[in-house]
Amino acid sequence: MSEKKYVTYGDSCSCGCGAPEGAKQITGCRFSLSEMSDRYIEYILGAIEKTDTSKVWSSTGKLSTIYRGKQIHVEDAVKACFINAFHEGVHMTMECTFSKGCPGDIEGDSYLAADDVLMNEPAIKDVHFPVACKIALYPMGIPDYMKYIAEVVNHAIDLGIYAGSAHYCTVLECDVQDLFAYINYVNDYCGKNLSHYIFEVTMSVNSPTK
């Protein structure tokens, strides 16, 4: 009988010192698109193909797609994929897990050398449609994590995009451009103030529920 191969994340500590230096700079986003339509395959694959991913590392599997690299390029590609997946009148959701600083992370599977010129933004910056969204921030490894959550929620209140607090999440409602500007703010804020965080964002368009 072959020996079982166990994982050993327990050897890492929360300061991220277990991860290689380069890995600490990598922002990642794992996302799943769901199109409530018989044509979901062409819509999802079409959105993924239309998105310029030349400045991120990307991989699509059975359950989700992942982009890794510099924060601004990951955000640019995720935003483009979401906008490219939008079809008038079709209910669609996108579940995104942004993360940075996992102590178990590796330096591979990422492009960090790219410059700061966004590949998708020029084509999508004038697209507007309303989005309903639930968010949850998980600052890891620290006792006073609730204050960081309050900070990002209160910033949404300041921006006028906050639509309420619910159990286990905060609800936002706004234009797609404002939402991605907010996501950029959260990733900036967390990247500066936290060694490891996860930011869950589930966006919904064209919901039949009022």
81 Cβ contact list (under 8 Å, min separation 6): 31, 33, 47, 48, 51, 65, 94
Size of the site for a second copy (CB under 8 A): 71
CB of 24 to a second copy, least distance (A): 14
The residue length of the chain stands at 210
Q: Which span sits near a second copy by CB under 8 A: 4-12, 75-83, 118-126, 182-190?
A: 4-12
Considering only residues 122-151, where is the footprint of a second copy by CB under 8 A?
Answer: 132-134, 136, 138, 140-147, 149-151
Site string for a second copy, 89-118 (x = CB under 8 A): --x-x-x-x-x--xxxx---x---------
CB of 123 to a second copy, least distance (A): 26
CB of 200 to a second copy, least distance (A): 7
Handedness of CA 200, 106, 60, 181 (dihedral sign): positive
> Are the C-beta atoms of residues 26 and 110 closer than 8 Å to each other?
yes
Considering only residues 166-205, where is the footprint of a second copy by CB under 8 A?
Answer: 166-169, 171, 198, 200, 202, 204
Looking at the chain, which runs of residues are DSSP E strands? 27-35, 57-60, 65-69, 92-100, 130-139, 162-166, 169-175, 197-205
Among 14, 129, 130, 188, binds a second copy (CB under 8 A): 14
CB of 10 to a second copy, least distance (A): 3
**Among 70, 31, 43, residue whose Cα is nearest residue 54:** 70
